[in-house]
Amino acid sequence: MGSPQLSARRTTWTFLRALLWKNWIIKSRHPIATACEILVPVVFILLLGLLKSTTNTIAVPTGWSDTDTTSDATIGTSYNLFQPTGQTMEWVDAELPKFALHETSMVGLILSLGLQSIADGLRMQELSATDLATCTTGVTAEGLVDTNTSSAYRVPTECAEKVAPYKIGIAPDNAFTRNYFAETMDLWYPRMDLLNSSSSSLVVPSFKESVQFFDSNDALTEYVKSDDYGKGLDNPHIYAAIVFDSAPEGDAIGSFASIEY
C-alpha cells in the first residue's frame, strides 16, 4: 500500500497543475506552431467579419414572393421564392418555379398534370390565338382543371373540348376513398396561389380537382382501354391511379385498421 502522505498529495489540483506545466513546456518548445494555433483561427474569423461587412443585408418579406420592384438591393427580389426559371412558356405571364418540373412532391405532380394536359391537347392549332392563350394560361397557371362544368375552376370553355385534363385515378369509389381519404388529402393539398402578385398567378389546383373516381379496379382498366379515353372533359387522361384492395368500412373509418393498396 502507498504512503498516506503520498496519497494525500495526489489531489485533482496536483494532477491539473502537472498537466498544465507539461503543456506549457511543449508549447514553449515549438513557438511557431503555437503561434499558428492561436493566430490562424483569429485571422479567419476577422476575414469572415470583413467579408460580411462588404455585403448588404437583404430583407426577405413574408409570403411566397415579394412584388416590390424597387432598385434598392436590400429590399429583396421580385421573383418567386421557390427560384423561378425552371421553365419559360411564352403564354404564361409568370416565371415558373423549378419545383413545378422536377420536385417529387404532390404539389409538383399536380402542377405537372396541367402542363401535360396542354402538351397532349388534340388539334390545339385549330384554336384562335386568343382562345389558345386563354386555354393554356387557365390550365397551366390558373389551375383551371376541374372537369365539372358547374365548377368555378372548370377547364376554360376556350379549350373547346380539345384538352382532356390528366387526373389521378382512385378506386374503388366508396365512403372511405371519397369521404375520408380524398377529403383528408384535400386538407393537405388545397387550392393555393403561389405568387404574391396582382398581375400574375401560379395556382396549384386542389387534390379533389385533380382526381377521378372509379367504381372498381376493373372499371378503371376498362375506362383506360375504351375508345373514348382522353377525349374531352368527360374522358380525362389518367396519369396514375391509387387502387385500394382493402380499406376500413363503416365505424372503422378513421381508426387504426389495415389498408392494402
Q: What does the pLDDT look like over 50-109, one tens digit per residue?
A: 988 888 776 655 544 444 555 665 555 544 445 555 555 554 555 555 554 444 588 888
Output the CA torsion sign for 127, 130, 134, 136: positive
How far apart CA 240 and CA 137 sit, in angstroms, is: 24
Total-model pTM: 0.59
Beta-carbon contacts of residue 166 (< 8 Å; ≥ 6 apart):
113, 114, 116, 117, 120, 236, 237, 238, 239
- E strand or H helix at 28: helix 12-29
DSSP 122: S
Banded model confidence at residue 241, pLDDT cuts 50, 70, 90: very high
pLDDT score recorded for residue 129: 92
204 strand-pairing partners: 192
How would you label 130-151 residue by residue, b for 16+ Cβ within 10 Å and e otherwise?
A: ebbbbbbbbbbbbbbbbbeeee
pLDDT score recorded for residue 71: 61
For the chain, the average pLDDT equals 81
- Give the CA-trace dihedral at 231, 221, 107, 159, to 10 degrees: 0
Output the CA torsion sign for 63, 68, 69, 70: negative
How far does Cα 3 stand from its chain's mean position? 72
Do the Cβ atoms of 178 and 213 come closer than 8 Å?
Answer: yes
Beta-carbon contacts of residue 23 (< 8 Å; ≥ 6 apart):
none
pLDDT score recorded for residue 103: 46
Percentage of the chain beyond pLDDT 90 is 34
Bin 83: left if φ > 0, else alpha if -120 < ψ < 50, else beta. left
Would you tell me how many other CB atoms lie within 10 Å of the CB of residue 200? 16
pLDDT for 145-195, tens place per residue?
A: 999 989 999 999 999 888 989 999 999 999 999 999 999 999 999 998 887
pLDDT score recorded for residue 101: 46
Judge if the upstream peptide bond of residue 236 is cis by omega within 30 degrees of 0. Answer: no
Beta-carbon contacts of residue 211 (< 8 Å; ≥ 6 apart):
167, 168, 169, 170, 182
How far apart CA 217 and CA 202 sit, in angstroms, is: 34
